[in-house]
Amino acid sequence: MKAILTQSLPNDKKMRPDLFQAPDYYLLDELLSDEHKMVRDAAREWVKREVSPIIEDYAQKAEFPKQIINGLAEIGAFGPYIPEEYGGAGLDQISYGLIMQEIERGDSGVRSTASVQSSLVMYPIWKYGNEEQRMKYLPKLASGEFIGCFGLTEPDHGSNPGGMVTNFKDKGDHYLLNGAKMWISNAPFADIAVVWAKDETGRIHGLIVERGMEGFTTPETHNKWSLRASATGELIFDNVKVPKENLLPNKSGLGAPLGCLDSARYGIAWGAIGAAMDCYDTALRYAKERIQFDKPIAGTQLQQKKLAEMITEITKAQLLTWRLGVLRNEGKATSAQISMAKRNNVDMAINIAREARQILGGMGITGEYSIMRHMMNLESVITYEGTHDIHLLITGLDITGIPAFK
Ligand code: TGC
Ligand code: FAD
């Protein structure tokens, strides 16, 4: 192998050239429309051109590459399924999924930024906001002029967001917001935050909080080993005066934020396939080139077992997710079906990343290849938007009718 060659390159060129070839073992392209393929291919090319060459460097620096925001907007990653009248791309759920797959093939942190913007910020404004709020925020979010974040999780309420303590009081001409959110993607540089808080009766509502409001701060969370190219932070509300017109009027209760999660979890189910495909493709190419004991390691039964199981799991996940996309297009997908796909696909991807890393031996731990970065990223993906355990309990509840959370 010529592994040593890239060591003399500047930091921003340290990752190997992106030679990605997408696996399609069951000819799933035949299930896609021309529009799906066009949207997917545009995102794929953009990731190759704009993300792959720089992402390792940004992950090493633990910095979000802000220069890609315009490109994300151009490929339709901000509001893929939001109607065009609000600046969205007006695409269907399969196209949305394919965009997330391609972006996460590059990096889960970049997909996070797109997921949060689309499903956790634009979606609630579109679905739960009034027309004035839609016109004020959605076009700017779609173009990337505004970046948003979503504040649900609190220091003492992660898996159980219904216990949140962040609250607001009606002060006549405004609301007074107090509390704190943590682990919030995009928080350090977001222009607006969709924040979930309880009113004086304990009912949960969404509020749009804008950067610059007095008492609102967004300290960055440092020292992450995962999602290093995504900015994570806290949202602190210290007597923040929120104008009354910033309350999302059309839905309240815990079901409102959870409804946004359905859309984001669906995107993650597709995204995880992208990360898995990249790990598989990298490992397959490496195994065919790497010679040990006078033959390619791809010619050994042990490595073939790993590769064969990877492509099997990817193919199963592709089929599951495509079907889920069809159900979502028909308005028939349930939250529990989405949980199953998120849980299965992220678990599939993390296992593939671990196996692929082993196929690369020592080279697998370096930043010359994407695998270790995917593996570390997926530790967040398996935790956020509902942990692996919580999604299992959601399936358990769905099939037995008995909640086992408490
Ligand atoms: P429960 O009593 O079951 O439900 C309360 C109300 O919500 C409704 N509901 C849903 N509605 C829409 N979509 C869903 N997926 C829903 N799940 C439940 C439910 O019908 C009920 O409505 P109503 O009208 O009867 O009041 O609530 P619970 O308190 O028992 O909790 C259930 C549980 C544990 C499943 C839920 O709290 C949960 O999903 N916990 C996980 C929390 C989570 O996923 N947090 C994610 C934070 S955001 C994030 O991680 C972003 S990362 C982004 C990135 O960087 O990509
Ligand atoms: P906990 O809820 O404390 O869970 C700890 C462990 O206990 C887990 O293994 C869990 O599965 C298990 N557990 C919990 N309850 C049960 C139960 N009833 N039965 C069995 N086991 C249980 N949140 C946002 O609101 N917005 C964001 O943008 C956002 N971005 C994030 C970005 C990153 C990088 C990370 C890491 C998190 C992000 N989150 C965000 C928060 C994320 O959603 C939470 O971390 C997640 O919901 C889990 O909450 P927790 O970390 O408090 O873990």
Q: Which CATH architecture has domain 148-246?
A: Beta Barrel (2.40)
Ligand 1 atom index nearest CA of 268? 56
pLDDT of residue 14: 63
pLDDT of residue 8: 46
pLDDT of residue 337: 98
Q: Cα(322) to centroid of ligand 1, in Å?
A: 23
**Rounded-to-integer distance, Cα 193 and Cα 216, Å:** 10
Regarding the beta carbon of 221 and ligand 2, being less than 6 Å apart is answered no
Q: Cα(163) to centroid of ligand 1, in Å?
A: 12
Ligand 2 atom index nearest CA of 153? 25
Render pLDDT for 34-48 as a digit per residue (tens, 0 to 9): 999 999 999 999 999
pTM score, two decimals? 0.96
Regarding the beta carbon of 385 and ligand 1, being less than 6 Å apart is answered yes
**DSSP string of 28-41, one letter each residue:** GGGGS-HHHHHHHH
168 forms bridges with which residues in the sheet?
177
Regarding the beta carbon of 186 and ligand 1, being less than 6 Å apart is answered no
**Rounded-to-integer distance, Cα 240 and Cα 259, Å:** 26
Element (H, E) at 174: strand 174-185
**Rounded-to-integer distance, Cα 19 and Cα 52, Å:** 10
The CATH number of 21-143 is: 1.10.540.10
Q: Cα(257) to centroid of ligand 1, in Å?
A: 7
Tokens of 11: 């930091």
Residue 169: partners with Cβ closer than 8 Å, 6 or more residues away: 175, 176, 199, 200
Regarding the beta carbon of 380 and ligand 1, being less than 6 Å apart is answered no
197 forms bridges with which residues in the sheet?
205
From the candidates 50, 56, 368, 385, which is the catalytic residue? Answer: 385
What is the DSSP code (8-state) at residue 247?
B
pLDDT of residue 16: 82
Quote the strand ranges of 280-329, DSSP E: 291-292, 295-296
pLDDT of residue 10: 52
**Regarding beta strands 174-185 and 232-243, do their DSSP bridges make them parallel or antiparallel, or are they unpaired?**
antiparallel
Annotation says 385 is catalytic: yes
How far is CA 61 from each of CA 22, 64, 206, 390, rounded to the nearest angstrom?
Answer: 28, 9, 34, 32
The CATH number of 255-400 is: 1.20.140.10
Work out the number of other CB atoms within 10 angstroms of the CB of residue 37: 14
Exposure string over 289-301, b if 16+ CB within 10 A, otherwise e? ebeeeeeebbeee
Regarding the beta carbon of 258 and ligand 1, being less than 6 Å apart is answered yes
Nearest ligand, measured from the Cα of 182: 2
Instruction: Tell me how many helices (H) and strands (E) the chain has.
Output: 12, 9
Regarding the beta carbon of 387 and ligand 2, being less than 6 Å apart is answered yes
Regarding the beta carbon of 252 and ligand 1, being less than 6 Å apart is answered no
How large is the greatest C-alpha to C-alpha distance in the chain, in angstroms? 79
Regarding the beta carbon of 405 and ligand 2, being less than 6 Å apart is answered yes
Parse the chain into domains and list their residue ranges.
21-143, 148-246, 255-400
Nearest residue (CA) to ligand 1, atom 32: 160
Please, what are the averages of pLDDT over each run of 10 residues along the chain (406 residues)?
44 75 97 98 98 97 97 98 97 98 98 98 98 98 98 98 98 98 98 98 98 98 98 98 98 98 98 98 98 98 98 98 98 98 98 98 96 98 98 98 96
Q: Cα(364) to centroid of ligand 1, in Å?
A: 37
pLDDT of residue 3: 42
Element (H, E) at 354: helix 335-359
Nearest residue (CA) to ligand 2, atom 8: 387
Nearest ligand, measured from the Cα of 152: 2
Nearest residue (CA) to ligand 1, atom 21: 255
Ligand 2 atom index nearest CA of 160? 2
**Rounded-to-integer distance, Cα 343 and Cα 356, Å:** 20
Nearest CA to 250 among 75, 61, 124?
124
Nearest CA to 379 among 33, 82, 124, 108?
108
For a pocket test of ligand 2, which of 164, 184, 185, 384 has the largest count of ligand atoms closer than 8 A to its C-beta? 384
Q: Cα(49) to centroid of ligand 2, in Å?
A: 34
Regarding the beta carbon of 253 and ligand 1, being less than 6 Å apart is answered yes
Token pair 């692929």 in the structure block, residue = 356
